[in-house]
Amino acid sequence: MRTRRIGELGVGAIGLGGMPMSIEGRPDEQRSIATIHAALNAGVTLIDTADAYHLHADEVGHNESLIARALAGYDGDTSDVLVATKGGHLRPGDGSWTQDGSPEHLKEACDASLKRLGVEAIGLYQFHRPDPEVPYEESIGALRDLLDAGKIRYAGVSNANSEQIRQAGDILGDRLVSVQNQFSPAFRSSEAELELCARMGIAFLPWSPLGGISKAGELGSRFAPFAEVAKAHEVSPQQVCLAWMLAKAPVVIPIPGSSRPETILDSVRAVDLELTSEELGRLDAAG
């Protein structure tokens, strides 16, 4: 697996998004753990999760706990695995998503995530989504306090615009190492944030890079150029999509969600797919 950087850490250029293993339509735990182990075997060293990846109100942090069990049960070395989690987004249990970006909540959420992950410090802790009821600088200030307390090693922001990224950088300095925004062939409005991250040297982690759980399998039929390039290379349209993202900038580290070993293994192969400038131009124009 080729590597890219998050802060001072080298991680595999393709990460694993854990959300499909814990929300609606999630598989049994055995298959999820097999998926995580397959990713580790393939060289994935970035696993993305959040305390909000769960179904019911009484199982907050389901995905964090699942990942902790998978890592504990893995028979290889996991010392280089970076588990990135998030706080500030909530699921009350009725299918809705809400926000709480108050410093009090973020600090309590971080403590709970620490316990579920079974670590002394979280490798990368990200503010999940801006809360319109809380000034952004207060939420980011909570990340600064968590860094100062040694509870998290690095900080990131998610679903942030360019102004918010700059604001977080002013508050956190070089301890702001990542931005996690939605980006895919169908959703390109974060291109400006991607370019900003490239200039700042901050990792850009596209979430739902293949279009989301329900639409990832249809990527080739929805965007014909991705299917055409895939056919020419005898690979999947999903591999082409991830290779296209990797070519955008050296800071891009896609985190495709997966709940089956075969899908994450297909995604990982994108690191070895070289696309021509003509192909990249066709894909850029396919949105």
Q: Is 80 exceeded by the pLDDT of residue 142?
A: yes
Q: Is 254 helix (H, G, I), strand (E, B) or coil?
A: coil
Return the higher-pLDDT residue of 213 and 50: 50
Tens of pLDDT, residues 156-215 = 999 999 999 999 999 999 999 999 999 999 999 999 999 999 999 999 999 999 999 889
Q: Which residues are catalytic?
A: 53
Question: Residue 80 — left, alpha, or beta (φ > 0 → left; ψ -120 to 50 → alpha)?
Answer: alpha
| Residue 27 near residue 21 (C-beta atoms within 8 A) | yes
Q: What is the rounded end-to-end Cα distance, in angstroms, of the chain? A: 29
The answer for residues whose C-beta is within 8 angstroms of residue 203's C-beta and 6 or more apart is 4, 5, 6, 7, 156, 177, 178, 179, 197, 251, 252, 253
Please tell me the predicted confidence (pLDDT) of residue 73: 98
- Give the mean pLDDT of 255-282: 97
Q: Per residue in 83-114, pLDDT tens?
A: 999 999 999 988 899 999 999 999 999 999 99
Phi first, then psi, for residue 280 (nearest 5°) are: -60, -40
CA distance 166 to 164: 5
pLDDT of residue 95: 86
Predicted structure pTM score: 0.97
Supply the pLDDT for residue 266: 97
Q: Where are the beta strands (DSSP E) in the chain?
A: 3-6, 9-12, 16-17, 46-48, 82-87, 89-90, 98-99, 122-127, 152-158, 176-180, 203-204
Q: What is the pLDDT of residues 207-258, one digit of tens each?
A: 999 999 889 999 999 999 999 999 999 999 999 999 999 999 999 999 999 9
How does strand 3-6 pair with strand 9-12?
A: antiparallel
